[in-house]
Amino acid sequence: MQSAIEPLDWPSLIEAQPAAGLIPIGLRQQAKRLDAQARVPLFRIGDPVRCVYLVVSGEARLIRLARNGSEVILQRSRGGFLAEASLEARSYHCDAITTEPTTILTLPVAAFRAALEEDPIFRSAWQSQLTKEIRKLRAQCERLSLNSAADRISHYIESEGADGILTLHQSRKSWAAELGLSHEALYRTLRRMQSEGVLDVDGVRLATK
Amino acid sequence: MQSAIEPLDWPSLIEAQPAAGLIPIGLRQQAKRLDAQARVPLFRIGDPVRCVYLVVSGEARLIRLARNGSEVILQRSRGGFLAEASLEARSYHCDAITTEPTTILTLPVAAFRAALEEDPIFRSAWQSQLTKEIRKLRAQCERLSLNSAADRISHYIESEGADGILTLHQSRKSWAAELGLSHEALYRTLRRMQSEGVLDVDGVRLATK
DNA sequence: CGTACTTTTGAATCGCATCAAATCTGGTGG
DNA sequence: CCACCAGATTTGATGCGATTCAAAAGTACG
């Protein structure tokens, strides 16, 4: 079995993912918990939008296949909403999939929209969420505009890490995809940066120097 | 003189930029019109956020300078809001500049936030705006993830144009920057695509075949 | 203990960036 | 109207860096 619906325990959900705490009571009653293994599709391009996804733990991604068959990562959500823009769409414009065992809350779109209308706090939180996503995407665009692998790596550590230190929450191979690089280029550049003393690599901990 | 404040004529403003029509009456009274020449800075990184910018006609951009001195285009607004995410920030994270003679409405942030709280229609329009921006940015990320110049060009025409036909509203040189390419690479690739019969180039009109 | 996947290294190739320079364009002022 | 200038467009040559293909070694997991 690839996924399962389990009973909801709000205090622990909120502890795992604070954003869940912003969901109004009325909407909570319509939420369903979804526990999925790795590589479980949540929706596919063209599917009608039925619910909003909140990643509680684990990771879910929006992906699209390029014409040459390579996979482009459009969003990587580790805790927080997935596919925020789908709230305004009829059907999905890309695929969504889990990359590891993941717990998700699903919220019916109609009830979600109603809750946004009625609850000023929830609404404000949602607007912040959208804004944060815009900033994140701009950073990603800026990064992809850099044309050397080393620059993209440094940029990622600076913008996603804290004080020049980043703990990597994914395989290097999939990080390479997120950086728009081949995994070989990433491995080689990491090594070179380390040997040049620009970067300190220690397992999943990366630090610029 | 680089810029001027002029009296407001709402009907014509709304005709030029429909988004202006969504602004509630109360907020309109606080709006100021700004007419700027090309290459006029609207704000700089670090400046405190005092107002929201709505581009009525012309073009304004968010830009940031990369460490190597090259200019990265974070947003290009031709009609519509600029720097939506600034509404939630204290100070700007990038520079804004006009690229041609441009008419802008400026709306004080405090009044803007208040209007969002009070007016459900305006609020809903603003959320749509944020969502649209997210989709646009995802498309841009997807495009920058493509590693051939031809693929980026095709992707741009498909996603920004209509039915495979695009009218370019900027110089090719600055389009190149938006595509994350050197202008030489863009010129050469356009020519090659045309000679290969993949693309039809006619002045500012580009069509995929 | 086998299988799938990631990590790592090597070698060859290709496309883009870069530097250079000529031409073309639109706009300004004499 | 013409000279002039700044910027855009175009072409050429060169080098680097990333992609690609290949293959080996390491690792996690059932």
Tens of pLDDT, residues A61-116: 999 887 777 788 899 999 999 999 999 999 999 999 999 999 999 999 999 999 99
Of the CA atoms within 13 Å of residue A115, those in its CB half-sphere come to 23
Q: What is the pLDDT of residue A6?
A: 59
Label residue B7 by pLDDT band (50, 70, 90): low
Q: What is the pLDDT of residue B6?
A: 58
pLDDT of residue B108: 96
Candidate from A138-152, B47-61, B66-80 with smallest mean pLDDT: B66-80
A135 contact residues in B (CB cutoff 8 A) = 85, 93
Rg (CA), chain A: 18
| Residue B182 approaches strand C within 7 Å at CB | yes
Q: What's the pLDDT score for residue A1?
A: 38
CA–CA gap between residue A141 and residue B141 (Å, rounded) = 5
pLDDT above 90 for A162: yes
Inter-chain residue contact B131 with A133, CB threshold 8 Å: no
Q: What is the mean pLDDT of chain A?
A: 92
Residue A10 CB closer than 7 angstroms to strand C? no
Give the CA angle between residues B36, B41, B42 to the nearest 5°: 75
| Cβ separation B85–A126 shorter than 8 A | no
Confidence of residue B66 (pLDDT cuts 50, 70, 90): confident
Residue A153 CB-density burial (10 A; 0-12 exposed, 13-18 middle, 19+ buried)? buried
The average confidence (pLDDT) of chain B is 92
- Which has the closest alpha carbon to B102: B17, B206, B208? B17
Residue B118 CB neighbour total at 10 angstroms: 12
Q: Among A69-78, A165-174, B141-150, which stretch is predicted with the lowest mean pLDDT?
A: A69-78
Tell me the whole-structure pTM to 2 decimals: 0.93
Does A198 lie at the interface with B, CB-CB under 8 angstroms? no
What Å distances lie between residue A58 and A10, A35, A120, CA to CA? 17, 10, 29
Listed in sequence order, the residues at least 6 apart from A190 whose beta carbon sits closer than 8 Å to its beta carbon are A153, A172, A199, A201
- Name the phi and psi angles at A59, rounded to 5: -150, 140
- pLDDT at position A150 over 80: yes
Mean pLDDT confidence for B187-198: 95
Q: What is the pLDDT of residue A124?
A: 93
pLDDT for residue A209: 83
* pLDDT of res. A65: 81
Q: Which chain C positions come under 7 Å from a protein C-beta?
A: 5-11, 15-20
Residue count of chain B: 209
Check whether A4 has a pLDDT greater than 80.
Answer: no
User: Residue A189 pLDDT > 60, yes or no?
Assistant: yes
The whole-number pLDDT of residue B177 equals 94
pLDDT of residue A5: 57
Q: Which helix (H) or strand (E) holds B192?
A: helix B183-195
* Alpha-carbon span A13 to A60, nearest angstrom: 17
Contact A66 B116 (CB under 8 A): no
The structure tokens listed for B2 are 């680089």
- Return the beta strands (E) in B45-191 as ranges: 51-57, 60-65, 71-77, 80-82, 95-98, 102-108, 165-167
Over residues A144-172, the mean pLDDT reads 95
Confidence of residue B5 (pLDDT cuts 50, 70, 90): low
- Report whether A134 contacts B84 (CB < 8 A): yes
